[in-house]
Chains A and B, each alone.
Chain A
């Protein structure tokens, strides 16, 4: 599970907040709503819900699902230059429906779809973290997502199919070009999936709490070979590495009493990937909700249930910007795979001070799998910390 904004009560709240933010996203950080407050919405009337598993069909399901309240396309990756200078990047496009139905209007501007994009670059060795946010309406071609050919954009931040054919028979595979630029950083990357799409949970239905419908549809492209250029501090670097693509859509997800979640995506040296998430509860009586997927090198997926893994926090870091304390080191155990990893942020300060404050950062992992040493890189997302 990959987003802070899952199951938003409504976009109006988002945009109103955003409107208050004088000077735009880069200005004074707007007050951050508590995740619980945001997610304890019952206003789902008229929207589609994720009630039961549904077969995904590609490329159609790469596109937008405007009947659901929220949706996101998440690209994260760890890259390095030829001389081993390390970077991380995040590019996310969020979609929110502000009303179940589009307005009846002859105007090309009329829409019930709003888009928000987050773009961040982590300069691991340069100790830099740059992030930016944009919002636009899903109309007039200002922002949107098309499925074939794939195209997801918000103004001039865009992800487009680059025309290269992914491997034949590779289900849901994509070959993409991601370009985004802010004043501080820019990326122009080519991403090609080397493994088919991974459907999480119950064949793509990812349950978030015990209540039916509090779930999303969720798949990932867990290993995308990446090359391209990356600019920070006025300097452009030729980079390569691995990216991870998540696509998830839902109408409501969270249960009252859940305070936030921790989410891990790790790409391991043996060409396996691991995705884990767990919800944190305020209410101790609530059952712990956690889930994961282990993807073996040839693409086989093992679904992980709450009892199948353990996450232990080893360290903490307090943001000087927000004063929020986040966990900053974990030990992950997956006994079924004889897998034990120590996961460490490659830079502590990867806090996103955007409309919603969260921590989303590049991490590295070392440990052992089936007795052999294993290492990896990935991204961790931490929400709901105060």
Chain B
């Protein structure tokens, strides 16, 4: 149809505008797809590694912190005749040559395996009983061997909880698929005996996998289990672990959606400006007999064409972006949650489809208003633009009143007690939307306020610039709202991160009171008690507290335990949210009570006076909660208990780390150097000073927010592109007006000043509007989103930098956007411009 041709030609006539808004949507979609792919890849990697270890198992028997007694396995097979069950010993080791490289050692009984899971398939080319016949025999995949630069057969020196060992890699397997390859990437397969020795789990099993058919079989196994053991479905175990990263994923997804929303403003902006520019033409079309429906579809179609192209580009961009993000996300998961090796982005059709649907959906949604606007243009024989602008001005109040509805929705969603995370984000988006509606009114206000200053500073040009903004309100209001939203997003996220960081830093200073901390490297291993005795005996040492980090896995999920043998003084380092150190200490010490961290209390909806149920070696047992303490180390929360209590209920004397308090006046640095040299050398233990540990913690913190920062920058890029294109098109459209000015004696320089003042003013307005919204977003993120995601209390730290930066960004984007049109218009001879308008 001819009308379609009109639309298409229109897009081609303004290639810059079309391309920029396409880029906006493309970036928005790319961010959404990239985050979804990244999340999905992490999820898949997790599922895969879970399946890999679970195999065909439908259930697992899991024990306490020290695992299961191995004789349970024998009894189940020999005494009770169970058949489909497989023992597993699993642990982490570090490569001695390569301290950063961690490998999972998985010990199996090759003679018991009948299973068809990835790990066993991967060994199909290998002589599996070499595992049995060769001391410390180990198998890797081809790719892993290559990565580690290992010739086959070869030797891997590793350090695990069982000390230093040489694994003899007798063969390298070729996994059946790329997915298996990925799942086995950081896995060493050994015989169960070897794994027990290397991971320091003699006499213990990490778990027993079972294949059970039917509830009767399940019930029978349950009856056979000792009190410290629990039977859990494979799926439930995986789900419980997945739950841990859920909030993290939702946050990333929400941030990616924010990028898309900004991209959406872009399309909206482009289409609105485009429709406004074509008002006269549309009126002619209407006169000639083009119906409102046709116009609606034509404008919608234009947006859709841009959207589709943008989405297509966004898919490609998103896939490549996901490769960049994957490392960051995987790092965070490893830092905060669990060991997960994820190297490859798995391109899921569903993720792409979601991105496409969201991109197209956002486009259509964004094009709705301009398309409607186009369809409402009345037919007219003689056309004037001023009517349009006066309509825009009169609608300012109406829009501001409309802002009430989304604002109210936002308020309800955000303030609703017990509201969930989704509601929180929905509230946030409503708030942004409401603000966008309010923006035109605020824009007028700002122009009015700045009017006098501008006219005083720049004279005529200043006055004209201010009027220029209000005169073209129909176009500028959208642009300003979009820029304000984008800038506020970066301001808000910035303030949130700064506040979070400052809170954590502050907390660490109070929390890390000891002078030195010694830990088994990277959690792979335990501290030899002999080392602790030797350190304690040193004259400079005032006291030592030990800690044990461990977890209790259960059908209901994983509980992080923090076991410490603190005295009353060290206990006082805890900062309590509810309860207090003095009151909690006696109950904590006696073993009657535990204390829980704030996120634990939040996620489990427990507080002082409630109880925590833990599965001990003698069955489940209730512990009172004597206090809720601030802790930013784990977003799922921890349960802290005294070592005496722990050892009373769990047969596990392992120590993960210890803290050394020195006598006053001892030079900590010199002492540390001596300690390292005389006691710790070759022990595999890592010594860190108070300051180093703090720095390390902050490093992890910063890594955690690396993804957030990337998204934040991308959002800004999208916004700047959008603003740039919008402001540019507004200015280019005024060629005729400027030609008149030029004809009347305006110098190119004056014109340039006028245009950049105007766009700068718009940028400034957007920046000014962005600040309160940014602050609002920050507060919502801190008090509502983070609270609902992780249960953390944060102090708000307002530093001027984010505000200044936001303002500078907005003004900068404005000035930049004015530059090109100003130059172009200034260079155009006036006669040319006049003739062609």
Contacts and interface: CB of A to CB of B under 8 A. Distances in A.
- B and A form one assembly: yes
Interface of A: 11-16, 19-25, 98-99, 103-112, 114, 135-137, 139-142, 153, 155-156, 181
Contact of A142 (B78, B110, B197): B78
Contacts of A20: 124
Interface stretch (B33-41, B126-134, B481-489): B126-134
Given A16-B129, A23-B114, A110 B193 contact: yes
Given A12-B129, A107-B193, A114-B132, 7 more contacts: A14-B129, A19-B124, A24-B114, A108-B70, A108-B193, A108-B202, A136-B111
B799 interface: no
A38 to B, nearest CB: 15
Contact of B196 (A107, A112, A142): A107
Rank and list the top 10 A-B pairs by shortest CB-CB distance, nearest first.
A107-B193, A24-B114, A110-B193, A98-B133, A109-B193, A156-B81, A15-B129, A99-B133, A12-B129, A107-B196
Contacts of B124: 19-20
B269 interface: no
Contacts of A11: 129, 132-133
Contacts of B132: 11, 15, 98-99, 111-112, 114, 137
A95 to B, nearest CB: 13
A158 to B, nearest CB: 8
B116 A22 contact: yes
B80 to A, nearest CB: 8
Nearest to B123: A19
A164 B127 CA distance: 44
Contact of A140 (B70, B81, B114, B197): B70
Interface string B69-111: 0110110011111010000000000000000000000000111
B123 A106 contact: no
Contacts of A99: 132-134
B70 A106 contact: no
A109 B109 contact: yes
B203 interface: yes
Contact of B77 (A22, A156, A181): A156
19 contacts: A11-B129, A14-B129, A15-B111, A16-B127, A19-B113, A19-B120, A19-B128, A99-B134, A105-B194, A107-B197, A107-B202, A109-B191, A109-B192, A110-B191, A137-B109, A140-B74, A156-B77, A156-B80, A156-B81
A297 B125 CA distance: 53
Contacts of B134: 99, 103
A19 B116 contact: no
A250 B30 CA distance: 69
A153 B78 contact: yes
Contact of B110 (A19, A104, A105): A19
A155 B78 contact: yes
A28 B113 CA distance: 15
A156 B71 CA distance: 15
Contacts of A103: 133-135, 193
B164 to A, nearest CB: 15
A155 B116 CA distance: 22
Nearest to A25: B114
B445 interface: no
Given A19-B123, A103-B193, A105-B194, A12 B133 contact: yes
The CB with the most chain B CB atoms within 10 A, among A21, A105, A112, is that of A105
B824 to A, nearest CB: 72
Nearest to A142: B74
A contact patch SS: loop
B416 interface: no
Contacts of A141: 71, 74, 78
B128 A16 contact: yes
A62 to B, nearest CB: 20
A25 B74 CA distance: 20
B78 A23 contact: no
Contacts of A155: 77-78, 81, 83
A141 B77 CA distance: 10
Contacts of A110: 191, 193
A109 B88 CA distance: 12
A14 B109 CA distance: 15
A120 B71 CA distance: 29
B568 interface: no
Nearest to B116: A22
Contacts of A98: 129, 132-133
A133 B77 CA distance: 15
B116 A136 contact: no
Interface residues on B, range: 35 or more
Nearest to B76: A155
Contacts of A108: 70, 193, 202-203
B537 interface: no
A104 B135 CA distance: 7
A104 B126 CA distance: 23
B112 interface: yes
B191 A15 contact: no
B767 to A, nearest CB: 66
B807 to A, nearest CB: 66
A181 B113 CA distance: 20
B173 to A, nearest CB: 12
Nearest to A116: B111
A139 B191 CA distance: 13
Nearest to B128: A19
A181 B83 CA distance: 12
Contacts of B196: 107, 109
B192 A107 contact: yes
A167 B193 CA distance: 43
Contacts of B73: 140
Nearest to B196: A107
Nearest to A136: B111
Contacts of B133: 11-12, 98-99, 103, 112
Nearest to B135: A103
A107 B79 CA distance: 21
Contact of A105 (B74, B126, B129, B197): B197
B92 to A, nearest CB: 18
Contacts of A22: 114, 116
Nearest to A20: B124
Contacts of B116: 22-23
A257 B575 CA distance: 82
Contacts of B70: 108-109, 140
Nearest to A104: B135
Contact of B135 (A15, A16, A105, A136): A105
A11 B111 CA distance: 11
Nearest to A15: B129
B129 to A, nearest CB: 4
A117 to B, nearest CB: 12
B77 A142 contact: yes
B557 to A, nearest CB: 30
A114 B77 contact: no
B200 to A, nearest CB: 11
B143 to A, nearest CB: 21
A75 to B, nearest CB: 19
Nearest to B112: A136
Contacts of A16: 126-129
Nearest to A109: B193
Interface in B417-439: none
A354 to B, nearest CB: 14
A131 to B, nearest CB: 16
Contacts of B123: 19
Contacts of B191: 109-110
Given A108-B70, A140-B74, A15 B110 contact: yes
Contacts of A112: 132-133
Contacts of A12: 127-130, 133
Contacts of B128: 12, 15-16, 19
B41 to A, nearest CB: 29
Interface in B167-213: 191-194, 196-197, 202-203
A132 B273 CA distance: 80
Given A19-B124, A20-B124, A112-B133, A156 B202 contact: no
